[in-house]
Amino acid sequence: MEDNQIKNNSNESQKASANYDVVIIGGGPAGSTAAIYAARSGLKTLVVDKGLTSGALGITSKIVNYPGIVEEISGAQLVEKMREQAKLFGAEYISDKVIGVDLQSETKSIFGNGGVYNSRFVIISTGSMGRGVRIQGEDRLLGHGVSYCATCDAAFYRNKDVVVAGNTDEAIEEALFLTKYANQVYFLSQTERLAAPQELVETLKNHPKVILYAGTKLKEIIGENRVEAVLAVQSDQHEVLLSVSGAFVYLQGGRPVTDFIQGQLEVSQSGCLIVDSSFQTSIPGVYAIGDVLCTHVKQVVVSAAEGAIAAMAIEKEINGRSRMMVDWSEKKQ
């Protein structure tokens, strides 16, 4: 056992000291798809990831709308399939937490607890589960009625009652999307005034399926194996108990996980990374995909597409070609 541990540690150290063509931070659907395309194109590719179930998809219990996957599948199973495919093309995965980066130099450095990973190009796909303040019961029931994506999970709550907590335009749009499926949508805004365009607020208020609780804070999410109810507190300290099957949480804007960047990249007011049409950030050679983007639609297939585009853009840059390769199996020009 000790010999194996020493061997494993030696392997990790070798990875940490090696130089790569591209290092991908985050191994969810966006990052793993980027790894598939990058590795298949012959780029030396490393994915640094905290673990299979560390991201939003990894803790999703059911996915039924991913193209080509007919059977019901869990998020973790789908991510694992993507990772295995990436590994078949030569991508390497390492379990580590990124604590800092140096993106200013031509050779980028990614600092993890296990070492430093150097590369010419970096793809950031760390997701948006970075909210610090948690609701009682939220972590325990995440994936079992607690969700951060109505467009992903709304169909599971057909003819059921759900609650949405938040006060932003994202929260309102997600609540309105839920009305297509749910029987009743309780909208809890922690502030009396919603931080969204007035037209959108009026649409929410006037929707027959929505009951708005302004100045009401979500206090607890209740349930044994699944969400059964939520406890909320109004501004006058009056408590409200709502029987629901799902709780969709959009508090503090669901800020992306970008703390390790330490201000090196341009971000929006919501803390999302700003990219161009090829998903390159304000620093050449650094790309961002998935839920770290404000304009990103939170669907697995969209994240995968962004990963493919970013990887093709990097391959184009490395090989000095005038256009992206449509298919890696084509003869390179």
Q: Give the tens place of pLDDT for each residue, 303-318.
A: 999 999 999 999 999 9
- Is 138 part of any domain? no
**Same domain, yes or no, for 24 and 93?**
yes
Residue 51: its pLDDT value, please?
A: 67
Q: How far is CA 274 from CA 70, 109, 119, 266, in A?
A: 34, 20, 21, 6
Tokens linked to 265: 């990249």
Same domain, 55 and 77: yes
**What φ, ψ does residue 257 adopt, rounded to 5°?**
-85, 95
Would 328 be classed as within a structural domain? no
**Alpha helix stretches (DSSP H) within the chain:** 2-17, 29-40, 75-88, 150-153, 169-178, 198-206, 300-319
Q: For position 8, what pLDDT does the model report?
A: 45
- Assessment of whether the complete model's pTM goes beyond 0.75: no
The Cβ of residue 11 has, within 10 Å, a number of other Cβ atoms equal to 11
In whole angstroms, give the CA distance from residue 76 to residue 151: 19
Q: Is residue 302 part of a domain?
A: yes
Amino acid at residue number 98: V
Does 84 map to a domain? Answer: yes
pLDDT at 175 over 50: yes
Q: How confident is the model at residue 295 (pLDDT cuts 50, 70, 90)?
A: low
Known catalytic membership, residue 152: yes
Q: Is residue 137 part of a domain?
A: no
Cα 241 from Cα 222, distance rounded (Å): 10
Catalytic pick among 49, 96, 153, 291:
153
Residues 31, 111 within the same domain: yes
pLDDT at 166 over 70: yes
SS3 206: helix
Collapsed DSSP state (helix, strand, coil) of residue 184: strand
Which of 21, 49, 96, 149 is catalytic? The answer is 149
Range 175-198 average pLDDT? 92
Q: Domain range for residue 154?
A: 146-253
Cα gap 155→241, rounded to integer Å: 24
Strands 210-214 and 108-112: unpaired
pLDDT tens for 233-292 read 999 999 999 999 999 998 865 568 887 898 899 988 777 899 999 999 999 999 999 989
Contact 123, 43 (CB under 8 A): no
In a domain, 332, yes or no: no
One domain for residues 109 and 245: no
Q: Domain check: are 272 and 194 in the same one?
A: no
DSSP 253: G
Res. 333: pLDDT tops 50: no
With 0-12 / 13-18 / 19 or more C-beta atoms within 10 angstroms meaning exposed / middle / buried, residue 92 is middle
H/E stretch holding 109: strand 108-112
Q: Are residues 20 and 90 in the same domain?
A: yes
**Per the domain annotation, does 331 fall within a domain?**
no
On average, the pLDDT of the chain sits at 86
Residue 43 has pLDDT above 70, yes or no: yes
Of 148-157, 271-280, 324-333, which range is least confident? 324-333
Shared-domain flag, residues 125 and 45 = yes
Catalytic residue, from 152, 161, 291, 294: name it: 152
pLDDT for res 2: 41
Domain boundary among 231, 253, 275: 253
Mean pLDDT of 140-155: 86
In a domain, 136, yes or no: no
* Residue 217 near residue 233, CB atoms below 8 Å: yes
Do 269 and 249 belong together in one domain?
no
Is the domain of 18 the same as that of 120? yes
Structure confidence at residue 170 (pLDDT): 76
**Amino acid 256: pLDDT:** 81
Long-range CB contacts (< 8 A, 24+ apart) of 109-113? 110/23, 110/25, 110/48, 112/16, 112/48
- Answer yes or no: are the C-beta atoms of 38 and 27 closer than 8 Å: no
* Helical pair 29-40 and 75-88, crossing angle rounded to 10 deg: 10
With bands split at pLDDT 50, 70 and 90, how would you rate the model's confidence at 128? Answer: confident
Domain boundary among 228, 253, 278: 253
Among 30-39, 217-226, 320-329, the range scoring the smallest mean pLDDT is: 320-329
User: Are 199 and 60 in a shared domain?
Assistant: no
pLDDT of residue 286: 98
Domain boundary among 253, 280, 304: 253
The mean pLDDT of 188-200, rounded to a whole number, is 88
pLDDT at 10 over 50: no
* Confidence tier at 144 by pLDDT (50, 70, 90): very high
Q: Is 230 helix (H, G, I), strand (E, B) or coil?
A: strand
Q: What percent of the chain has pLDDT over 70?
A: 84
- pLDDT-based confidence at 90, cuts 50/70/90? very high
**Residue 3: per-residue pLDDT:** 47
**What average pLDDT does this structure show over 207-228?**
96
CB 302 within 8 A of CB 293: no
Q: What are the φ/ψ torsions at residue 140 (nearest 5 degrees)? A: -65, -35
Verify that 111 and 162 share a domain, yes or no: no
| Mean pLDDT of all residues in 49-60 | 59
For the chain, how many structural domains are there in total?
2
Domain match, 261 and 126 both: yes
Read off the CATH number of the domain in which 69 is found: 3.50.50.60
Task: Kindly state the average pLDDT of the residues 161-169.
Answer: 91
pLDDT at 332: 45
Is residue 6 pLDDT above 80, yes or no?
Answer: no
């993507």: which residue's tokens? Answer: 82
The percent of the chain in helix, strand and coil, each rounded to the nearest 5, is 30, 25, 45
| Choice between 206 and 69, residue whose per-residue pLDDT is larger | 206
Element (H, E) at 243: strand 239-243
